Amino acid sequence: MDQGKYIAMRRRRVKRLKRMIIAGLILMILIPTALSVWLGVRLHRTGNALSEMNAQYESQLVLNEELQQRLRLFMELASRKGTEDVDGTPEIEEVIQSEPASDDIRRVYLTFDDGPSINTIKILDILDEYDVKAAFFVTGQNADDNEDLYREIVKRGHTLGMHSYSHVYSDIYRSRESFAKDFNKIRDYLTDTTGVTPVYYRFPGGSSNTVSKTDMKELCEYVEENGATYLDWNISSGDATNPQISVNRLVNNCMSAIPNHMTAVILFHDAAGKDTTVKALPQIIEQIQAMEDTVILPITEDTVKIRHLETETE
Ligand SMILES: [Zn+2]
């Protein structure tokens, strides 16, 4: 082999080698990049699915609590009545709270849990339109995006209540200490943000929830001893369900239950995604306003306290 041929062959080999190295490098960059993108997309989707599942879990908890509460009351009523037949929920509701009918005026309280969110402002506008005041039991979740909404609730004359800062059951109900920590966090936060110290508290899941690892009576007492009053509800609008119920069902749930109470406290949710609540609200207000001797009021110190669980001190 002569010198020239040999050199040409070596060059070709070097060239081939170079191409292979470059191709290898490109592959080493491309494959991980493609993988990262793919994993990123998967992660995002999983994240979305997770938060959706979390929301559903919360809804199920509330529903579960309500069912258990009904069952307890049902059994209590059954034992009181002895062998008599027990039927109809109106009587059961009476056990929740004896409602003094001092003036024959039915008082309806619209209460909204889990806000503020994008839906809160829509609800505030509806309430303004009908000149109605309500109570908002808010959390500190997503507080940064919603700072103005806390102030707006107060500014428009509604009752601003607490509904825990984190709304994470496993956290706030772990112990009296962790509850106290969360309680003070939401109260301080709302005081700093709105200039008004909130005095009403609604327990996530209600005072009768069975998720709490701490005795709820103890936590009820804590709230009362720390300058606040806890309040529950006696009518569930049903908007905690997921997937959402229809506007008609929501309206019917409220309107069929109101006649059973002289003090009717309706539980709604103004969390993001509770669009049915926003859609049903005008009809509900109109129908209540059309009822005789019935008024819609904000919660004040004169309001009859509707509670699932009473403290010993009461
Ligand atoms: Zn809640």
Task: For the domain made up of 69-296, give the CATH fold.
Answer: TIM Barrel (3.20.20)
Percent of the chain at pLDDT exceeding 90: 62
Assess contact for 69 and 88: CB atoms under 8 A.
Answer: no
| 205 CA from centroid of ligand 1 (Å) | 6
| 1 CA from centroid of ligand 1 (Å) | 88
List C-alpha distances in Å: 144 to 170, 183, 280.
Answer: 23, 18, 28
Q: Is 195 left (phi over 0), alpha (psi -120 to 50) or beta?
A: left
Give the tokens for residue 193.
Answer: 């943000």
Closest CA to 151 of 223, 166, 113, 143: 143
pLDDT of 276-312, one tens digit each? 999 999 999 999 999 999 999 999 999 999 999 987 6
Cα dihedral value 153, 135, 180, 188, nearest 10: 20
| 208 CA from centroid of ligand 1 (Å) | 13
pLDDT of 73-94, one tens digit each? 676 666 554 433 333 333 333 3
What per-residue confidence (pLDDT) applies to 90?
A: 32
Number of Cβ within a 10 Å radius of residue 38: 10
| 243 CA from centroid of ligand 1 (Å) | 17
Q: Which residue has the tokens 């919603």?
A: 146
Which helix (H) or strand (E) segment holds residue 126: the answer is helix 118-129
- CA–CA dist 297, 228 (Å, integer): 20
75 or 21: which leads in pLDDT: 21
| 144 CA from centroid of ligand 1 (Å) | 19
- Flag whether pLDDT at 62 surpasses 70: no
Give the tokens for residue 189.
Answer: 């936060």
| 204 CA from centroid of ligand 1 (Å) | 5
| 231 CA from centroid of ligand 1 (Å) | 13
The chain-wide mean pLDDT, for the chain, equals 87
| 113 CA from centroid of ligand 1 (Å) | 5
pLDDT of 181-203, one tens digit each? 999 999 999 999 999 999 999 99
- CA–CA dist 276, 253 (Å, integer): 13
| 269 CA from centroid of ligand 1 (Å) | 8
What per-residue confidence (pLDDT) applies to 99?
A: 54
Bridge partners, 263 (sequence order): 107
Assess contact for 165 and 140: CB atoms under 8 A.
Answer: yes
What per-residue confidence (pLDDT) applies to 79?
A: 58
